[in-house]
Structure 1
Amino acid sequence: MALSDSVRATPRTPERSRPASQRIGSNGSPTPRKRRPDDTKLAVLFLIPAVIGLVVFYFWPLVRGIALSFTSWDLLSPEEFVGIANYQRMLADPIFWNAARVTVYYVILNIGIQTVVALAIAVLMQRLTQSVLVRGILLAPYLVSNVVAALVFLWILDYQLGIGNQVLEWMHLDRIGFFTTENWVIPTIALVNVWRHMGYTALLIFAGLQAIPANFYEAARVDGASELRMFRQITLPLLRPILGLVLIISVIGSFQVFDTVSVTTNGGPVDSSRLLQVYIYQKGFAEFDFGYASTLSVAMLVILVIVTFFQYRITRAGQTDLN
């Protein structure tokens, strides 16, 4: 009697609450565990086109370009291995060093102005309006191709007929050869690209601002902090990872500028706008010196890797203060 009472007193575990391996079927045998479907084959199937494109259009040209940098090849005759002769020639080439100097000057102007203007626009959007229409207007210049933007500004800033110089004359100022004067050509090209890219950069920064909790600003206002102090002590520190990412993307894009220069100045006047990309194109497709052009490309790749590495370390783009 006591045994039966103890059996009745012991609660039975519901069938659904048991692990799958302990469930009992209607015939008394354990119910087999349901296995999750394996999506590995499906994932590989979707990855194959991207991997093929990456290998064909990125890795293979990279390996091929590095190999060509050790050769002399004019596209018509067979490749001739020359070792490091192209690199020795590059180090002694005054045009290469001038192109590198001009490129660095352009990158500093472009990135400095573009980042400051984009940051100001993003903060104003965050504080004053978050309208989708405003964001669309800001993005509109980025949808215009570089060639079209360059041609439009070439006409606007033309020395004789451009409306820009006519406005300067109306203001009793001297006309400026924006694309024909050595001192003005690089700042002009930089400002053209700033106009085209600042809206896109501002939207990237604006997206980063959305991730900053609003209670940080509310607490700072309660403590009597001004807008400038909140910007310095809250916005900038918490926006650092996004700013680091934006700077890395912008610097890489600025080093690769070609179409704006090709359409407007083609490297002139007197090599004052001959950037590295323009010099590489001229050596490869104008002079058919593909070996040396590949050497210049490898040099620019090394420069970009070094600059990106130091940017990533200095800005600590992989870390965030939002905990």
Structure 2
Amino acid sequence: MTVATPPAPPGTDRRRPPPRPRRRGDLGAAVLFLVPATIGFVVFYLVPAVRGAWFSLTDYAVLAPGSFVGLENYRRLAADPQFWNAMGVTAYYVVINIVVQTLLAIALAVLLQRMTRSILVRGIALLPYFVANVVVALVWYFMLDYQIGVVNVLLGYVGVDAQAFFGDPALAIPTIALINVWRHLGYTALLLFAGLQTISPQVYEAAAIDGASAWRQFRSITLPLLRPVLALVLVVTVTGSFQVFDTVAVTTGGGPVDATRVVYLYIYDLAFAQLDFGYASAISVVLFVVLLVVAIVQLRLLRANESDNA
């Protein structure tokens, strides 16, 4: 039996609505914007990385055609005391730089959030980061000079003997680390400050009503909710700290007695002073693997893919 369709109310158009216009996909625009970055990545990162990995298996020396030597450069590296000294010096620098920089950056970010909303103050905190590393190193090199440096002059006024900040093996690396802390502190604090903005003020208000002190709020609210951003910041800063080069090259040149010969300076000396590109490439590959492992361990330990900020 056929059921009759009820008649449409007067004035109703029984025709099908016109099809909606198709929205053009964003794929074309996305590809257009990605192409320049992709070309830059391939030309300046991927191709040099692949060539460097290949050079690490050869005895390439620029002036002579290289031949394949297999893992000989890596066996040489394992028995090279200068390489292990450079890695130890670099690790010492990284520990000082990261610990001091992270603690001060967290404190500065919290102060910027709670005590001021001035863009001018935030900009002033970021100013050292805009100065080139070489310029910063030169300025501090003259300020910390043993004889005429303003820092030693001020120490003399308070009865403290002049310090050979760059000439004493015990002071050279801590001095270089603190110089770079001064330069990067504002940038690191700004990244953490951006993470603090994602934490709802209502969480702090509820904690204050419950009687939580400022320290308890920082320990139980700020740090847990800031963890994903802090993990990202630590990965970036640790990776950057392992690549320290220009500050050391300008101030100490690796001395005194290899006390500041970091691994990047050692690679540079091997490649461009001794023209031993094969061995320098092998050290670069090992450094890449070390940084990759360190980054993965950091992300896992800090659970960077998890957030308590629901």
Using a 3 Å threshold, how does the CA distance of structure 1 residues 298 and 33 change in structure 2: closer, same or farther? same
Q: Which amino acid aligns with 1:229?
A: R
Distance 1:14 1:249 in 2: 62
1:11 CA displacement: 7.5
Which residue is 2:266 aligned to?
279
Tell me the CA shift for residue 50 of structure 1: 1.2
Equivalent in the alignment of 2:125: 138
The one-letter code of the counterpart of 2:28 is K
Alignment of 1:199 with 2:186, yes or no, is: yes
**Quick one: which of 31, 56, 66 aligns to 2:43?**
56
Query: SS of the counterpart of 2:230?
Result: helix
Extract unaligned runs of 5+ from structure 1.
24-30
Aligned pairs for 1:248-259 within 5 A? 248-259=235-246
**1:273 to partner: Cα distance:** 0.3
Alignment partners' CA distance in 2, 1:13 and 1:294 = 78
Decide whether aligned partners of structure 1 residues 317 and 13 sit closer, same or farther in structure 2, where only a CA change above 3 A counts: farther
Shift in CA distance, 12/315, structure 1 to aligned 2, threshold 3 Å: farther
CA shift, 1:116, in A, is 0.3
Aligned residue for 1:243? 230
- Which one of 253, 267, 277 corresponds to residue 290 of structure 1? 277
Counterpart of 2:201?
214
Number of the residue aligned with 1:188: 175
Q: CA RMSD in A?
A: 1.9
State the Cα distance separating 1:41 from its structure 2 match. 2.8
- The residue number in structure 1 matching 2:72 is 85
Q: Tell me the amino acid that sits aligned with residue 237 of structure 1.
A: P
In 2, Cα distance between the equivalents of 1:135 and 1:145? 19
> Aligned partners of 1:166 and 1:102: how far apart in 2?
29
SS of 1:7 mapped into structure 2: coil
Deviations 1:121-158 (A, max 9, x none): 11111111121011010000000000000000000000
Match of 1:267 among 248, 254, 278: 254
- Cross-structure match for 1:109: 96
Any unmatched runs of 5+ in structure 2?
none
From 305, 308, 311, the equivalent of 2:295 is 308
The equivalent of 1:224 in structure 2 is: 211
**Which structure has the larger Rg?**
1
The yes-or-no answer on 1:233 pairing with 2:223 is no
Deviation at 1:7, TM superposition (A): 2.7
Match of 1:317 in 2: 304
**C-alpha distance in structure 2 between counterparts of 1:74 and 1:130, whole Å:** 56
CA-to-aligned-CA distance 1:18-76 (integer Å, 9 cap, x gap): 8xxx33xxxxxxx4552222343333222211111110001001100000000001101
Output the amino acid matched with 1:59: L
Give the distance between the partners of 2:40 and 2:150, measured in 1 at CA.
45
Q: How does 1:19-38 map to 2 (within 5 A)?
A: 22-23=16-17, 31-38=18-25
Measured in 2, the distance between the counterparts of 1:50 and 1:74 equals: 31
Instruction: Give the structure-1-normalised TM-score.
Output: 0.92
Matches of 2:42 and 2:175 in 1, distance apart? 37
Q: Give the aligned partner of residue 26 of structure 1.
A: none
Q: Secondary structure at the match of 1:233?
A: helix
Which runs of structure 1 show a deviation greater than 4 angstroms over 4 or more consecutive aligned residues?
10-15
Match of 1:27 in 2: none
One-letter code aligned to 1:67: W
Q: Which has the higher contact order (CA 8 A, sep 6+)?
A: 2
Counterparts of 1:223 and 1:41, CA distance in 2: 54
Aligned to 2:7: 7
Task: Find 2:145's aligned residue among 135, 158, 161.
Answer: 158
Distance in 2 (CA, whole Å) between partners of 1:167 and 1:300 is 40
* Identity across the alignment (%): 56
1:122 equivalent to 2:109? Answer: yes
> Which residue number corresponds to residue 149 of structure 1?
136
Distance 1:283 1:233 in 2: 49
TM-score, normalised with respect to structure 2: 0.95
Number of residue pairs matched?
308
- Per the TM alignment, residue 274 of structure 1 is displaced from its structure 2 partner at its CA by 0.4
User: In 2, Cα distance between the equivalents of 1:13 and 1:35?
Assistant: 26
CA distance in 2, matches of 1:11, 1:190: 83
